[in-house]
Structure 1
Amino acid sequence: MSSIGTAARTGFARGGIELRQTFSNVTDLWTYLFPAVLLVGTVFFMRNATVPGTDISLGARTLPSTFGMGIAFAGLMTVATLLVTDREDGTLLRAKATPNGMSGYLVGKIVLVGGMTACSFLLQLVPGLFLVDGLSVDAGGWLTLLWLVPLGFVATMPLGAVIGSVIDSARNLGLIMLPLIGLVAISGIFYPISAMPGWLQGVAQGFPVYWLGLGMRSVFLPDASTAAELGHSWRQLETAGVLGLWAVAGLILAPAVLRRMARRESGSAVAARREKAMQRPVG
């Protein structure tokens, strides 16, 4: 078997094992359930509100938007967090020391993050369909999902790997989380972007979060809902174009950054990070 095939087989097996482990860990189960309960509960209380100037339910508009937000968060923050954590505890160093270990490691993380995102998606979608009126998926919507979800991951996961490679401690991940939350706030996830100032609309449209939210709305909402969208259109060509540009940029940048990070990994580097993590300020 070729080295690529070996890495893929090992990575899928590793990712499957890690995914199953999340179902036997109370902390991991909580990370599945709490966001789903919080989101579905929020959308439930929004069900009778409407988007200003329309008869579109704000709850029905928000729920699919958060599906797109979930893909962005998984690709960016989850991947970055896993990579930083595995660097700190030596998992990445052990992967580096085995044949095809890094390739298998990356495949495993793709399987793990994809599986976790799918589980979270179902936990939000199933109750949401019963609690919120106005959501439906036709044949065109299923076709959109077939290209939107993979493209969304390809547009965000390499960037998450880059973030995880350049951040040296899990404690510094907040430096990325805060700007990401700000980006969500202006990307039309919880409220139409058309209500934002023009310059904020321009900023939001430069990043994947807005386009993933828009793409998911095009899947679950009727075409009449475009009345609340910029240009009164789902703009699927633009969605594919912007996400494709981010995917290309990430796939070009990530391998170089990951190789540089892997070269710098050593036993002394892991020991230094552990010692730094154990230090506590005095006074």
Structure 2
Amino acid sequence: MRTVAIRAGWRRGLIELRQSFTNGPELTSHFLWPVLMLVALFFLRDRDFGSTGFLLGALALPSILGMNAAMGMVSMSQQLTADREDGTLLRAKATPNGMPGFLVGKVVSVAGGLLADLAILLIPGLLIVEGLAVGSATGWLTLVWVLLLGMVATLPIGAVLGSVFTSARSQGLIQLPVLGLIAISGIFYPITALPDWLEWIGQLSPIYWLGLGMRSALLPDSAVVVEIDATWRHLETAAVLGVWALIGLAVAPVVLRRMARRESGSKVAERRERALQRVA
């Protein structure tokens, strides 16, 4: 039965992913943010970071990749909330093996869209930005394991957040704290330039470690001098992301089961009625 659910979820996820690249508004969302980031990188490509001799664009590109990977949790939360609001989740609940298949499909579609968005940013970025170390197989392997572990760490968090918030309007409550964490996670400026207490807060977030891992994969070894303790801290990166992954994988199934049990036709109708009243 579990195999059936996984297969159904895989097919569902691929269908949703294909639809996101054939639907005008969703296709725009796939390209809009990467294009804006590429424009910013274009203007940063020749600017030096202080007296270090490193280009700010080269330092920024891997960090932005890490940030985009972490933002998968926001996408997961938004999609779960939308499916809950329009009754898709309730229909999955009423179908044999529907909930496991629904969750597998959601992971496939969100992860697939995330990987596509990263490719849209990375490939042109490599042509725009100089000073990256892209000729090392070790670097690309590092990028792969950091990205995969980062998705395992962040997507369950997104599922938990999507279970907690009941409407699309409440998603703003998620985005504001995430933007705050991005600001103090060394994404657009090295975290060593921040006060010590903000450094500690930033390092509690998976966003910082995803950015650090991406920088370790794509920057030359000499760039490590701008990091904390002048080291890439691969073991710490794996440990922190692993802890977030374990927490998310332990908590997400429990929260999702409770959310599914509380869903009913009357609640979906009530939410739909409130949405229509807001439109009117």
137-146 vs 241-250, which deviates more? 137-146
- Structure 2: which amino acid aligns with 1:235? R
214-223 vs 136-145, which deviates more? 136-145
| Percent of pairs with identical residues | 55
Match in the other structure for 1:229? 227
Q: Is the 8 A contact 1:93 1:267 kept in 2?
A: yes
Q: Is the 8 A contact 2:187 2:211 kept in 1?
A: yes
116-125 vs 81-90, which deviates more? 116-125
Aligned ranges 1:127-142 → 2 under 5 Å: 127-137=124-134, 138-142=136-140
Measured after TM superposition, the shift of residue 221 of structure 1 is: 0.4
Query: Alpha carbon RMSD of aligned pairs, Å?
Result: 1.2
- Structure 2: which amino acid aligns with 1:191? Y
259-268 vs 50-59, which deviates more? 50-59
- Structure 1: which amino acid aligns with 2:88? T
Q: For structure 2, list consecutive stretches of 5 or more residues without a partner in the other structure.
A: none
Distance 1:222 1:157, change over 3 A: same
Q: Is the 8 A contact 1:51 1:228 kept in 2?
A: no
Match in the other structure for 1:93? 90
Q: TM-score, normalised by structure 1?
A: 0.96
* Inter-partner Cα distance in structure 2 for 1:68 and 1:87: 28
Q: Is the 8 A contact 1:204 1:210 kept in 2?
A: yes
- Structure 2: which amino acid aligns with 1:118? L
Q: Is the 8 A contact 2:133 2:218 kept in 1?
A: yes
Answer yes or no: is 1:83 the counterpart of 2:89.
no
* Correspondence for 1:274 among 272, 275, 280: 272
Answer yes or no: is 1:112 the counterpart of 2:118.
no
Match in the other structure for 2:13? 15
* Inter-partner Cα distance in structure 2 for 1:245 and 1:12: 26
Q: For structure 1, list consecutive stretches of 5 or more residues without a partner in the other structure.
A: none
Aligned ranges 1:1-283 → 2 under 5 Å: 3-74=1-72, 76-137=73-134, 138-280=136-278
Deviations 1:169-192 (A, max 9, x none): 110110110010010001000001
Q: Is the 8 A contact 1:69 1:184 kept in 2?
A: yes
Measured after TM superposition, the shift of residue 281 of structure 1 is: 9.6
Q: Is the 8 A contact 1:47 1:58 kept in 2?
A: yes
How many residue pairs get aligned? The number is: 279
Local SS of the residue matching 1:152: helix
Q: Is the 8 A contact 2:38 2:125 kept in 1?
A: yes
Measured after TM superposition, the shift of residue 136 of structure 1 is: 2.9
Measured after TM superposition, the shift of residue 222 of structure 1 is: 0.5
* Inter-partner Cα distance in structure 2 for 1:86 and 1:69: 25
* Inter-partner Cα distance in structure 2 for 1:53 and 1:210: 24
Deviations 1:203-243 (A, max 9, x none): 00011000000000011100100011111011010000000
Q: TM-score, normalised by structure 2?
A: 0.97
Q: Is the 8 A contact 2:184 2:202 kept in 1?
A: yes
